[in-house]
């Protein structure tokens, strides 16, 4: 598995958070290609391989912010998890919100986990390492070639 490069779709509207996440995800030897889109509309186009995203890879994991323009993370989560073609892609909600309502709502929409973004960069890097370790080294993920993938 170490020679495999995993594709991560980062759905994040904040340029500074995009940069922090990309830097943190590049920190260790586990190879990940991070694809960034700034909102939910672009995320769904990427996932459906529409328009300029026609040849994009199917991500192994989605890191999803909740509060974005045009289409919220909640809307993306609901669309992905009700789509036969997309619902098996794990979604990690990565947000600043500590609201119990947001937490319950995300899990109600079948988020695979919910992480509050640490403010400190070192803590943020540790969170990214933990995400990569868990999703790409610990668990077995379905591949795109499966009937629903």
Domain ranges of the chain: 6-138
User: With 90 as the cut, is the pLDDT of residue 119 above it?
Assistant: no
Which among 61, 14, 16 has a CA at the least distance from the CA of 38? 14
Task: Give the pLDDT band of residue 29 (cuts 50, 70, 90).
Answer: low
**What phi, psi does 141 have (nearest 5°)?**
-100, 150
pLDDT for the residue numbered 44:
97
Q: Which of 23-27, 63-67, 132-136 has the lowest mean pLDDT?
A: 23-27
pLDDT for the residue numbered 37:
96
What's the Cα-to-Cα distance from 17 to each of 10, 23, 30, 38, rounded to whole Å?
A: 10, 10, 21, 11
Query: Mean pLDDT score of the chain, rounded to an integer?
Result: 88
Tens of pLDDT, residues 123-144: 988 998 899 889 988 988 777 6
- For residue 92, the cross-strand partners are 63, 113
Helix (H) or strand (E) holding 75: helix 73-81
Q: Which CATH number fits domain 6-138: 3.10.20.30, 3.40.50.970, 3.40.50.12280, 3.40.50.2300?
A: 3.40.50.2300
Question: Taking each helix axis from N to C terminus, what angle separates 121-133 and 15-25, rounded to the nearest 10 degrees?
Answer: 60
User: With 80 as the cut, is the pLDDT of residue 38 above it?
Assistant: yes
This prediction's pTM: 0.90
User: With 60 as the cut, is the pLDDT of residue 145 above it?
Assistant: no
């Amino acid at each position: 598995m170490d020679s495999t490069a995993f594709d991560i779709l980062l759905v994040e509207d904040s340029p500074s958070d995009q940069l922090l996440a990309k830097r943190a995800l590049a920190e260790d030897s586990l190879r990940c290609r991070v694809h960034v889109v700034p909102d939910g509309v672009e995320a769904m186009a990427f996932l459906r391989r529409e328009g300029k995203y026609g040849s994009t890879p199917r991500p192994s994991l989605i890191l999803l912010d909740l509060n974005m323009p045009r289409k919220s993370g909640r809307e993306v989560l609901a669309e992905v998890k009700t789509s036969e073609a997309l619902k098996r892609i794990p979604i990690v909600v990565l947000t600043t919100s500590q609201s119990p309502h947001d937490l319950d709502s995300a899990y109600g929409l079948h988020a695979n986990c919910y992480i509050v973004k640490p403010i400190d960069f070192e803590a943020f890097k540790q969170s990214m390492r933990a995400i990569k370790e868990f999703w790409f080294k610990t668990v077995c993920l379905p591949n795109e070639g499966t009937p629903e993938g």
